[in-house]
């Protein structure tokens, strides 16, 4: 039952009552699994460029990007606490007993605490950790010799130390250089300086943040911005936004009734990264690169990353030019059969658009309208890497609720893995989504698309959580590069595996790519 005070709260948050009602219906009915047709393969949804094509699209990007507003969009609001789960678990259990020590010594697997301690000097934050412990009369080497691992972990995670357990990933030191270290935010600034700048020599980058991190973010940017502007002879335009309250979703109990706090207020939860389609929609850009905050590498490996950012950017520009040309024709001139077939061939072979069966039965005028609507959409070129067993989403041909087939990035949680055919299709995928996107968000008239109009609302997600000992159900909006971009024109291009180096656990920073 919706109370008057609930309606007043909705209004304060900018949420329409009908939105809440739809969310309740979603809880009651659930979201359907996606319907996989087949994986996207090479020559069937995934493009692999030859050397001369790589050179050509790089040249196109370098020549044409100066006339466009380019920026990087980096979702960076998540806390880094999940990176340290094995350390938190160890801290809760380790008491220093002989059994504890034997257990510690026996597990030297890559993501073990043993490996974290044994190679602690390889981390970019080591000197900071050592200094703050020394300021508190503790010697890190003595702590290791005396098996006092908990003290080291405490000073890394807790706010009386480095406070890494409560910071966002962007503010953690990832890479060490000769006489200094860089946070992941700084590595993104270096990237922006390379491929996200126009003729005015301004490199633009936009971070999404949680409100509690803004003050520390601003402080850090103030300390480092001038350094990178001078080093790379560029003017850095750095801004940020927070996830809008209007994208929060209401929680329900296990009976699908509103979950209320002790004071009677409704419980709202963030809508997941899919809510960031609103933030993306607000940006004043022409071409927008999207990359996760933790997928960065030190300078020694950046060359391939920069090259393929330009390649997918150049390919996007070339696709846009052709698309815009055809849209002008479709909108303004009579189209003869030869030209119409040329546009159809382009849409099928280069934009990867599948036409419904009814298309062949349409009158010529209706075919023109159909083509116009299919081409007049945001375009994204997505880098894909070969599947090497990483968990997460991948490129598939999917049939939506309307019966339309298209290329989509699909997460495993969206798939009914109990269905043997769907599970087989999922397992046979050859490529993985590293979240490496470049987006064209303006139409052929130069107007910004309303990105909210291209979301497939049926691709949300429901999970079970708990609060104050009570079970609840939470709802996430369609993922940013999944359902939130479901009705975009999507083109998938293979990029080298070296461009994908995420840091999901703190021990990932020990990998050779991050050293």
Strand partners of residue 291: 436
Lowest mean pLDDT among 33-47, 185-199, 301-315, 445-459: 185-199
CATH ID of 34-77+170-514, from 3.90.550.10, 1.10.3720.10, 3.40.50.9100, 3.40.50.970: 3.90.550.10
Q: Give, as one character, the DSSP assignment of residue 213.
A: G
Q: Where are the domains of the chain?
A: 34-77+170-514, 84-167
* Angle between helix 4-13 and helix 17-29 axes, rounded to 10 deg: 100
Q: What tokens appear for 280 in the block?
A: 């993306």
Rounded to whole angstroms, the Cα distance separating 260 from 250 reads: 10
Report the pLDDT value the prediction gives residue 393, as an integer from 0 to 100.
Answer: 83
Instruction: Output the pTM of the full model.
Output: 0.94
Report the pLDDT value the prediction gives residue 391, as an integer from 0 to 100.
Answer: 67
Q: What integer best gives the mean pLDDT of the chain?
A: 95
Strand partners of residue 470: 467
Report the pLDDT value the prediction gives residue 66, as an integer from 0 to 100.
Answer: 82
Rounded to whole angstroms, the Cα distance separating 295 from 187 reads: 10
The single residue listed with the structure tokens 């708990």 is 466
Which ranges in 296-354 belong to alpha helices (H)? Answer: 302-332, 337-349
| Cβ contact 329:217 at 8 Å | no
Rounded to whole angstroms, the Cα distance separating 213 from 472 reads: 27
Q: What is the pLDDT of residues 296-313, one digit of tens each?
A: 999 999 999 999 999 999
Q: What is the pLDDT of residues 219-230, one digit of tens each?
A: 999 999 999 999
Q: How far is CA 397 from CA 113, 123, 360, 485, in A?
A: 41, 41, 22, 14
Residues 6+ apart with CB under 8 A from 173: 123, 124, 125, 128, 181, 182, 183
Report the pLDDT value the prediction gives residue 378, as an integer from 0 to 100.
Answer: 98
Q: What tokens appear for 52 in the block?
A: 């001369």
- CA angle (515 as vertex; 291, 224 as ends), nearest 5: 60
Q: How far is CA 198 from CA 55, 74, 235, 449, 489, in A?
A: 20, 19, 10, 21, 25
């Amino acid at each position: 039952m919706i109370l008057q005070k609930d309606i007043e709260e909705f209004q304060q948050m900018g949420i329409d009552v009908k939105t809440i009602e739809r969310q309740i219906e979603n809880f009651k009915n659930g979201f359907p699994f996606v319907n996989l047709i087949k994986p996207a393969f090479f020559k069937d949804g995934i493009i692999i460029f030859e050397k001369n094509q790589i050179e050509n699209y790089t040249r196109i990007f370098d020549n044409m990007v100066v006339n466009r507003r380019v920026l990087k969009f980096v979702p960076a609001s998540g806390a880094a606490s999940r990176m340290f789960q094995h350390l938190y678990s160890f801290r809760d259990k380790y008491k220093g007993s002989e059994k504890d020590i034997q257990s510690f010594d026996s597990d030297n697997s890559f993501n073990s605490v043993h490996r974290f301690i044994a190679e602690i000097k390889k981390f970019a934050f080591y000197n900071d950790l050592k200094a703050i412990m020394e300021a508190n009369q503790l010697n890190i080497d003595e702590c290791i010799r005396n098996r006092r691992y908990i003290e080291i972990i405490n000073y890394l995670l807790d706010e009386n130390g480095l406070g890494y357990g409560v910071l966002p990933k962007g503010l953690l030191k990832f890479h060490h250089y000769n006489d200094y270290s860089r946070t992941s935010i700084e590595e993104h600034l270096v990237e922006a300086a390379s491929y996200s700048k126009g003729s005015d020599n301004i490199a633009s980058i936009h971070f999404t943040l949680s409100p509690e991190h803004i003050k520390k973010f601003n402080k850090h940017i103030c300390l480092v911005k001038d350094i990178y502007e001078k080093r790379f002879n560029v003017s850095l335009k750095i801004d940020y936004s927070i996830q809008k309250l209007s994208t929060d979703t209401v929680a329900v109990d296990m009976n699908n009734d509103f979950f209320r706090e002790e004071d009677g207020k409704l419980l709202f939860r963030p809508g997941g990264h899919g809510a960031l389609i609103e933030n993306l929609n607000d940006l004043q850009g022409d071409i927008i690169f999207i990359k996760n905050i933790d997928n960065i590498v030190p300078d020694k490996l950046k060359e391939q990353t920069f090259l393929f950012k330009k390649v997918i950017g150049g390919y996007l520009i070339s696709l846009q030019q052709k698309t815009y040309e055809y849209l002008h024709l479709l909108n303004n001139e009579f189209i003869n059969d030869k030209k119409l077939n040329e546009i159809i061939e382009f849409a099928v072979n280069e934009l990867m658009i599948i036409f419904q069966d009814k298309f062949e039965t349409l009158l010529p005028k209706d075919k023109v309208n159909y083509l116009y609507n299919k081409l007049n959409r945001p375009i994204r070129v997505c880098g894909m890497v070969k599947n090497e067993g990483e968990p997460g989403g991948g490129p598939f041909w999917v049939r939506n609720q309307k019966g339309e087939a298209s290329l989509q990035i699909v997460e495993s949680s969206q798939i009914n893995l109990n269905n043997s055919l769907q599970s087989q299709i999922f397992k046979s995928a050859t490529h993985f989504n590293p979240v490496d996107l470049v987006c064209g968000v303006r139409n052929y008239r130069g107007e910004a698309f309303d990105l909210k109009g291209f979301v497939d609302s049926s691709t949300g997600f429901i999970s079970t959580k708990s609060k104050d000992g009570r079970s609840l159900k939470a709802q996430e909006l369609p993922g940013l590069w999944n359902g939130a971009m479901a009705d975009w024109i999507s083109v998938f291009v293979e990029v080298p595996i070296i461009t994908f180096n995420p840091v999901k656990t703190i021990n990932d920073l020990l990998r050779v790519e991050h050293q």
